[in-house]
Structure 1
Amino acid sequence: MLGSTLMNTDLDSSLDLADQLLQLLREAPDGASEYQLIQQLKSRHSTHIPNLPLIDKLVLFRTHFLVFNALYRLRDRLCEEASEFLQIGPLQIRLLPWQAGAPGLVEADPLRAYYLDESNLRDTTERDVEKLLESFWTRMQGDGEKAAALALFELEDGPVDYALIKLRYRQLVSQHHPDRGGSTARLQSINKAMEILQRYYSRP
């Protein structure tokens, strides 16, 4: 687990997000998931991502975009230096030894142009975010989706059982229900997370 591998010390606030991610990845030789990197950035008080719960769809999108923008910038820089190759996958991100063919891999990545165009962060609408979140949950299938759902419930630290999940679900529904001033989109995210967690924690 990344959390047990990395020391919980503050990141150098003078470093940009790409350098902070490089620091984290160098301390995790087996790699890390996007979720783990985000949690480490938050726990180390990075000022480059929103310090807000990921339960809000716009916060989730902004955090995800900023992290992937920094990862692609970092990968380009490492390739230019011919020092290391950064493997960016949906469930694992890790540093690999430099290989001569690495630049071709960067050019072939269809996501690179999207994340390096910061207008996509500025111009993406709420409807666009909803579509992207559907893709996010698809990419997070398996342990990734469980971790992401627990993060939405703010239950990623410590032991979790189904009774605690149900309690947290009721609290979040009460807090974010549209009848109480919440948003329908946020309630849908809560319901989706509950649907996922039921598969892992409820008993037949």
Structure 2
Amino acid sequence: MTSISDPPATVPPATVSARLRAATAVAHEQAESSPFIDDLMSGRLDVDAYAGLAQQLLFVYRALEDVGDRLAGDAVADAVRDEKLRRVPRLTADLAALGVDVDALTPSPAVAAYVSAIEATVADPARYVAHHYTRYLGDLSGGQVVAHRMRQHYGVDDAALTFYAFDIDKLKRYKDSYRDSLDALPLDADGVDRLVDEAIGAFGHNQALFADLAADRG
């Protein structure tokens, strides 16, 4: 029997999207508060710092979109895949606008590990969705703030910020629909567990990416 002094039972979130949000809350906050991101968003760095971030993200999105293409036709992956989200062409154009030779780029150690983790999800679409959720939903949300701060603090031209521009009419409506798609994923309990665990790990990869960028700047 439960006594009056017993703590209330913890009820797990009812939906996949709610569970993802709850499970990644701490990792998300840690990634956003990393020293590199805090300095970049506060105006304490420079355009080169933003360019360095964009360069490393190119490898991440190449992997995301390559694996997504390979998973085309899979019911789980297709639930979130959308051509409107494709970022590699825009990121490549942004880097060209910043004067970066994309053919000369190499991934940092953290990004190489991040790419390997994404590539491994071709064998498990549930885990692929975790990386898709972590990056693209972030771009549709906090990414819009990043673009504003890059203009505000460093005068980055819109021609170098097309990565954050989406051909989507109502971003909130789209994000709500995306979460509905997560909630309707054809996954069993084990599949959802793998998705959530991979999402937590994805935020860890982003933290490592930011740490590499900070180390490169001394």
RCO comparison, higher one (Cα < 8 Å, 6+): 2
Provide TM-score, normalisation by structure 2.
0.26
Q: Which has the higher helix share?
A: 2
